[in-house]
Amino acid sequence: MNIKLKRKVENYIFLGLSFLSAGFGLFFLFWILGDLLLNGFKYINIDLFTKDPVPPGMEGGGLKHAFIGHIIITVLGTVIGTPIGILAGIYFAEYGRNSKIAKIGRNVVDVMVSNPSIVIGAVVYAILVKPVGHFMGFAGGVALALLMIPVIVITTDEMMKLVPQQTREAAYALGAQPWQVSFHIVLKAAKVGVLTGVILGVARISGETAPLLFTSFNNNFTTFDPTKPMASLTVTVFQYAMGPYDDWHRQAWAASFILTFGVLLASITARYIIQRKKY
């Protein structure tokens, strides 16, 4: 009797703790999103998107330079990173299945997904910024591409592996070459999944700050020229939130709000697509 009661109590205590843990996670999620909504939303206005910043201490101005810079750097990263990521992903899924080296390479890619992003920034500074002689938006794009590639490789690989083996065999039976099978059959079948990987990659890189600090640097003006230093939302939020001016803080909240909800929207979309694919 006593033991039974003890087991029951223990059961409830630990399940209760499990409930609390889930509550803990959700609590912080809603707290952070709530603060962003509360503090960020009200400072969004037209000027934020259409004006360059004014000197510190002056009221007004906007973050046009950062929005445009951020889009350009992210697009550069995506354009450089996507093809390399998809090609490597196809290799791991279709050609490297049974090779030992490919397996190690695949594990390394998995490791690179979680690699400290600031290290990438330091490396790109050494191999691109210093030799060329100045900070530039393009270097930021390269740094982001290097962060994005592993993400795309992994999802491409996984999504292509989901394509049933029979599909491949059917194609071979019809006399297709391996490249035709990979490209026309498997990749086509896994198209949506691969696209999801790209979205996930974009979501990942568009929230990055650390690799941009030493590469694309910052700029007080709007520029479309990727060979020049370029502002980005994240670096600007860093600068503004660390600064003392109330006006800066307001703009940092507004920018964070837009950034966070944009990134979350992208990753929810990607997850939704993957879920539908899997089941």
Partner 1 sequence: MKVKKLALAGILTVTGVAFAVDITGAGSTFVYPIISAWSYSYEKATGNKVNYQSIGSGGGIRQIENRTVDFGASDAPLTPKDLSEKKLLQFPVVIGGVVPTYNLPDIGNTQLNFDGKALCDIYMGKIKKWNDPYLQQLNPGVQLPDRDITVVRRSDGSGTTWIWTNYLSKVCPDWEKQVGYGTSVDWPTGVGGKGNEGVANYVKRFRGAIGYVEYIYAKQNNLPAGKVKNKEGNFVAPSMESFQSAAANAKWDKKQHFYYVLTDQPGKNSYPVTGAVFVLFAKDKPESSKKSVQFFDWVFKNGDQEAARLSYVPLPQNVKDMIREYWKENGLM
Partner 2 sequence: MEARKKALNQAKLFENVFKVVLGSAALFVGILLPLVIFISLYKESSLAINHFGVINFLTSTDWDPVAEKFGGLVPLMGTFIATFLATLIAAPISIGIAIFLVELSPNKLKPVFSTAIELLAGIPSIIYGMWGLFVMAPLFGEKIEPWLTENFQNVPLVGKLFEGSPTGIDVMTTSLVLSIMIIPFMSSVVKDAFNMVPSIMRESAYALGATKWEVIKQVMIPITASSIAGGLILSVGRALGETMAVTFLAGNVNQIPKSLFDPFTTITVALANQFTEADTAIYLSSLYFLALILFVISFFVLYLSKIMLLRLEKKWKV
Within 210-239, the residues that bind partner 2 by CB under 8 A are 210, 213-214, 217, 234, 237-238
Nearest-angstrom CA–CA distance, 15 and 100? 43
Q: Does 44 bind partner 2 (CB under 8 A)?
A: no
DSSP string, 224-259: --TTS----HHHHHHHHHHSS-HHHHHHHHHHHHHH
Which one of 73, 109, 199, 230 is in contact with partner 2 (CB under 8 A)? 109
Q: Does 28 bind partner 2 (CB under 8 A)?
A: yes
Nearest-angstrom CA–CA distance, 247 and 177? 62
CB 24, min distance to partner 1, A:
26
Q: Does 132 bind partner 2 (CB under 8 A)?
A: no
Query: Which three-class secondary structure state does DSSP give residue 131?
Result: helix
Which among 210, 215, 190, 200 has a CA at the least distance from the CA of 266? 200
Q: Does 256 bind partner 2 (CB under 8 A)?
A: yes
From partner 2, partner 1, none, interface partner of 2 (C-beta below 5 to 8 A by class): none
Nearest-angstrom CA–CA distance, 92 and 161? 10
Nearer to partner 1, 61 or 193 (CB): 61
Which among 69, 3, 79 has a CA at the least distance from the CA of 212? 69
Contact 185, 192 (CB under 8 A): no
Residues that bind partner 1 (CB under 8 A): 54-58, 68, 71-72, 74-75, 78, 129-130, 133-135, 199, 202, 217-226, 228-229, 239, 242-245, 262, 265-266
Nearest-angstrom CA–CA distance, 69 and 224? 7
For residue 15, the tally of other CB atoms under 10 A from its CB is 10
Nearer to partner 2, 138 or 214 (CB): 214
Which one of 150, 193, 201, 226 is in contact with partner 2 (CB under 8 A)? 150
Which one of 54, 71, 127, 170 is in contact with partner 2 (CB under 8 A)? 127
CB 132, min distance to partner 1, A:
9
Nearer to partner 1, 129 or 143 (CB): 129
Q: What distance lies between CA 175 and its chain's CA centroid?
A: 40
From partner 2, partner 1, none, interface partner of 56 (C-beta below 5 to 8 A by class): partner 1
Within 258-277, the residues that bind partner 2 by CB under 8 A are 259-260, 263-264, 267-268, 271, 275
From partner 1, partner 2, none, interface partner of 196 (C-beta below 5 to 8 A by class): none
Nearer to partner 1, 239 or 260 (CB): 239
For residue 234, the tally of other CB atoms under 10 A from its CB is 22
Nearer to partner 1, 67 or 91 (CB): 67
Nearest-angstrom CA–CA distance, 3 and 7? 6
